[in-house]
Amino acid sequence: MERKQVINLKQMLEETARRYGSKAAMVMGERHVTYAEIDQASNKVAHALLKAGMKRDDRIAMLLPNSPEFAIVYFGIIKSGAIAVPLDAKYKVEEWASLFNNCTPRMVIAESATLNTLAPLFRKFKSIKQFMELGGSGSYNLSYEEIMATGSAESTEIEPQPEDMVHIAYASGPTTRPTGVIASHRNLLKEAEITADGFQQTEKDVVMLFALPLYHHFGLVVILLTSFYKGSTVAVVPGTGLSIGTLLEAIEKERGTLLFGVPYIFALLNKIAREKGVRNDLSSLRLCGSGGAPLSTSVVRQFKKHFGFPLVDFWGLTEAMAIVTCPPLGGPIKLSSVGKPLPGWEVKIVDENGSELPTNQPGEVIVRGPITEGYYHNPQATAGKIKNGWLYTGDMGRVDKDGYLFLTGLKKRMIILKGKKIYPIDIEEVLATYPKIAAARAIAIPDRLRGEMVGAVILLKERVEATAQEIKRFCQEHMSDYKLPRQVIFTTQSSLANLSKIANIRLSQRKLKELLSSLSNLPSPLKYKKKPSKAQ
């Protein structure tokens, strides 16, 4: 059946449902939800939102786990003409305030347990007028179950334009200065097409969704939207924990063909293969890809050894909708490289003045393609990142004679833990509010399994005492778990200045250990284990 031309995500889902209506769009355990069912259920959500008074461009916050309901609600928001804001439900009060003051949502959609916990807080935000509850008693404005039971499954008359905003994606979670990336229909459709072509994805593929939240572009664009564009099936691995055994069982059961994740996932796969062997039938897999954080060559080599086929390393960023580079499938794979620009993307390396640099000379990586229109309500950040149609990524790298991109560092300080990007300044500003702290610096501590962990170097005020556990408890009250310092190191004023040496570079464990050991007034030497004993 020939595919019709579409100009927005509403039409994309409708067209896929027309072609593959009875085919499973998503499976989750024993649940099989077809494309026709997702299309009709999202129509019901759209009508309910319009009836509730949601208008074009109203922001609607989504606090939902990976599930078919996420897709149904997301497309329901699109079909109503509103703007989705997918978020993690685990943020703290200060983090919610920074986000909601930026995007000013009119509605929050979440599961009952989440709403019961957070609604009292959310009611303090004047922009939030209504709530939609999933799986509860119907004590909020809108009940998802009631909408499914009584709503209209007919398509809405609203027809978004290609340039219309679909959702706002916060590039690094909540920060003191949120950067909400604007994603349009045109750019998301183009990126889904580029990604699908790059992975040679078809309607026959079964794409595993494991440990990648759909509120993040990696899960939302690379897996969900790309699969819905091609008519593939998304297999959601149920459960909230990182059970590699459950993943392997799901691949075997669903005959998964594509598995994407952050390096941490593949490090865990190597670990279980090394300790217990590969006991599941994984013969259906044709491609495994890693993104979101630097991938070590040792993980790549071990994966090929244990599983018998290559692990490809690709690169992209939220502002570029998802993926920009990937090794050509079937072509040569160069260790430490994130591949070549996918068709539809251009990559250049430039110096501080924006002038293009020659082959193999390092500089800032800039890209052109379906990049974001900018940051929501943040023209200053937009002007700093987008210049003459090019996105200045903040990643440093070089391109070799064959066009392969090698990343060498970061222009801006950042910590990447299991694929999650953390700005040190956000941790430092929280620590600065603690009465006993005179100054603090957040640092990246290399970790073989997780990529990096957060460390905090603390200068206490004169004549006060504090413990590492005391500092950690304070952090737990004011920041998300993934930002929490795993190491707290006390130092003096003169030694704190030494930390400027590690602002924008990646240090080995040995080099970092040497640098931190040079700090005075440490309670004990900083030690590393050769191998992490347990994944956190």
- Decide if 39 is inside a domain: yes
- What pLDDT was estimated at residue 497? 60
Same-domain status, 365 and 504: no
- CA distances to 170, 173, 471, 479 from 430, in Å: 19, 15, 11, 8
Domain CATH code at residue 351: 2.30.38.10
> What does DSSP say about strands 451-460 and 437-447: parallel, antiparallel, or unpaired?
antiparallel
- Token reading at 495: 């030694």
* End residue of a domain, out of 391, 410, 429: 410
Domain CATH code at residue 20: 3.40.50.980
- What pLDDT was estimated at residue 503? 46
CA distance 223 to 201: 11
- Decide if 334 is inside a domain: no
- Decide if 46 is inside a domain: yes
* End residue of a domain, out of 240, 267, 298: 240
Report H helices in 176-232.
185-198, 217, 226-230
Which domain range does residue 485 map to? 415-517
Same-domain status, 460 and 366: no
- Decide if 127 is inside a domain: yes
- Decide if 257 is inside a domain: no
CA distance 419 to 413: 15
Same-domain status, 60 and 106: yes
- What pLDDT was estimated at residue 422? 83
Same-domain status, 394 and 510: no
Residue pointed to by tokens 């669903």: 254
- Decide if 531 is inside a domain: no
- Decide if 291 is inside a domain: no
Nearest in space to 367 (alpha carbons), one of 383, 388, 338, 337: 388
CA distance 23 to 16: 10
Same-domain status, 29 and 137: yes
Residue 388 φ/ψ region, left for φ over 0, alpha for ψ in the -120 to 50 degree band, beta for the rest = left
Q: What is the pTM of this model?
A: 0.85
CA distance 361 to 397: 8
CA distance 321 to 225: 11
Same-domain status, 467 and 497: yes
Same-domain status, 169 and 52: yes
Q: Based on the structure, what is the number of domains in the chain?
A: 3
Classified as helix, coil or strand, 431 is helix
- Decide if 55 is inside a domain: yes
pLDDT tens across the length of the chain (536 residues): 778 899 999 999 999 999 999 999 999 999 999 999 999 999 999 999 999 999 999 999 999 999 999 999 999 999 999 999 999 988 888 889 989 999 999 999 999 999 999 999 999 999 999 999 999 877 898 999 999 999 999 999 999 999 999 999 997 655 567 889 999 999 999 999 999 999 999 999 999 999 999 999 999 999 999 999 999 999 999 865 669 999 999 999 999 999 999 999 999 999 999 999 999 999 999 999 999 888 989 999 999 999 998 999 999 999 999 999 999 998 889 999 999 999 999 999 999 999 999 999 999 999 999 999 999 999 999 999 999 999 999 999 999 999 999 998 877 777 888 777 788 888 888 898 999 998 888 888 877 777 788 988 888 888 899 999 999 999 999 888 888 998 898 887 666 665 554 444 445 555 555 555 555 444 433 333 333 434 43
φ/ψ (deg, to 5) at 197 = -65, -40
Same-domain status, 35 and 144: yes
Which positions ≥6 away from 521 have C-beta within 8 Å?
Answer: 490, 491, 492, 495
- CA distances to 32, 250, 260 from 24, in Å: 6, 16, 20
**In 276-389, which ranges are E strands?**
287-290, 311-313, 315-316, 323-326, 340-341, 346-350, 363-368, 386-387
Same-domain status, 406 and 480: no
Check if the beta carbon of residue 64 is closer than 8 Å to that of residue 76: no
Same-domain status, 391 and 436: no
Sheet containing strand 180-184, edge to edge, reads 142-143, 130-134, 107-111, 59-63, 83-86, 165-170, 180-184
* End residue of a domain, out of 357, 377, 410: 410
Same-domain status, 134 and 224: yes
Same-domain status, 39 and 183: yes
Residue pointed to by tokens 């509120």: 215
Domain CATH code at residue 474: 3.30.300.30
Classified as helix, coil or strand, 217 is helix
